[in-house]
Amino acid sequence: MIIGVLREAQTGETRVAATPATVVQLLKLGYEVVVETGAGDASSFADEAYVEAGASIGDPFDADIVLGVNQPAAQQLDQLRQNATLIGILNARLDESVVADLTSRPITALSMDAVPRISRAQSLDVLSSMANIAGYRAVVEAAHVFGRFFTGQVTAAGKVPPAQVLVAGAGVAGLAAIGAAGSMGAVVKATDPRPEVADQVASLGGSYLSVESADVEVSATGYAKEMSDDYNTRAAALYAQTVPDIDIVITTALIPGRPAPTLLTAEMVASMKAGSVIVDMAAGSGGNVEGSVAGQVVETANGVTIIGYTDLAGRLPAQASQLYGTNLVNLLKLMTPEKDGMLVLDFDDVVQRSITVVRDGESTWPPPPVQVSAAPAAAPVEAKEEVVKKERKPLTPTAKLGAVLGAGLLLVLLVAASPAVLQGQLVIFALSIIIGYYVITGVHHALHTPLMSVTNAISGIIVVGALLQIGHDGTLITILAAAAILLASINIFGGFAVTRRMLAMFTRS
């Protein structure tokens, strides 16, 4: 089968559905690839580069499979051959007219923005790929407008404080923004209605600002849900208290299929310092910031710049095209099980079913819901929690005392029954267990790995003891000593290797 790569008709679109690198991968699947003239020019991919990769330059509308970024224009759809398969970001979830238009044509249409958020579909998730780029680019755009350093500095001319950055929404775009701003030296804070992202924010060096509300719960879909009035009131109070001290705010809150929620009101924006910057990544869906304009930069009366660009991912066209093209390759790998260049649409596969908008001219939209959360049903969870609570029920003081006395009695009996030579060693062994227990349990959990890497190296004591046993009478003793030397040596070298790797994490190249 032939794959055709379209030149995007949408004004301002810089991405392309295939790059020379992804063309090579498509050819390995058994397909022929035809690229429309100038399709990759805006992404800095010349026609010659596609030819060198093995594609041909020609008419993509005669292809069996047509790849695009956005929904093709009406005149482009009219040129598609009968029974062709169109793959792109069709936005069927947001625009019902798209489904009606596609259904009127004898084609099959797959919408990449409808990929379910399940583990095995992550490599196809275009929304995550583009959100990752957009989050990074949002920080770059803010830095371009912001009039100071992001990182704090102490210079001969004076001290420069680090920029204070607030990221509203810690999804893929938000986490990318947190990582980018943190790597530039800013002090980053983040909010999100999903409490499970707190650890992710912390892992990137940010501080998680929680909104205490009963409406906060673990997400079952991978997306943030529409929150209650109580939560919104508490969140508004948090923003009103926080934003006056913030230099840069990046908002990413979006709910699939619904207008973006308003997070920052005009009063909050007015409370910010002159020179502050807001990047409203949801401007194209109504905006998270009152006063933002889709596709434009607005400066308020108090000197705050509000950036409402809707093409943040497209502002890194080469990178965005490569990631999007890779998402398409992964989809075609899934749909080409024999790698023979023949596309197979399997409706038993939840991923393929979810992205299919039209099949052979018949509407299949909307798809059946997909359970993306691994969490069990409510009743089993409660039962499980009860079991866990019973298992973790702390011992009573009487039970603890009984356990200690029992262990002590067992040790006394063991010592009494042991030879005189062994009695002293047993006492030392028991004391070392007690001391080791209190030393290890008193260490913070974050230090367990470096601690163990060092203590493993102390296995040299075992090596010395085993060396002293080699050469004594008895083949069994020699074999046991040799095994002890081998295992302890592995522990020693492994301990130092782990220690070295951990120290290297804190070394700047």
Which candidate, 332, 379, 372, 325, places its Cα nearest to that of 352?
A: 332
Structure tokens at 296: 């434009």
Angle between helices 448-457 and 475-504 (to 10 degrees): 140
Token output for 306: 């509000």
Q: Is the CA virtual torsion 208, 214, 217, 220 positive or negative?
A: negative
Instruction: Measure the CA–CA gap between 123 and 333, rounded to whole angstroms.
Output: 11
Question: Angle CA(228)–CA(233)–CA(237) in degrees, nearest 5?
Answer: 145
Query: By the 8 A CB rule, do 47 and 349 touch?
Result: no
Judge whether 170 and 201 are in contact, CB under 8 Å.
Answer: yes
Cα–Cα distance for residue pair 49/55, rounded to 1 Å: 9
Query: Catalytic site residues?
Result: 117, 122, 125, 128, 223
Distance between CA atoms of 207 and 175, rounded to whole angstroms? 12
- Which stretch of DSSP H or E encloses residue 164? strand 164-168
258 C-beta neighbours (distance < 10 Å), count: 12
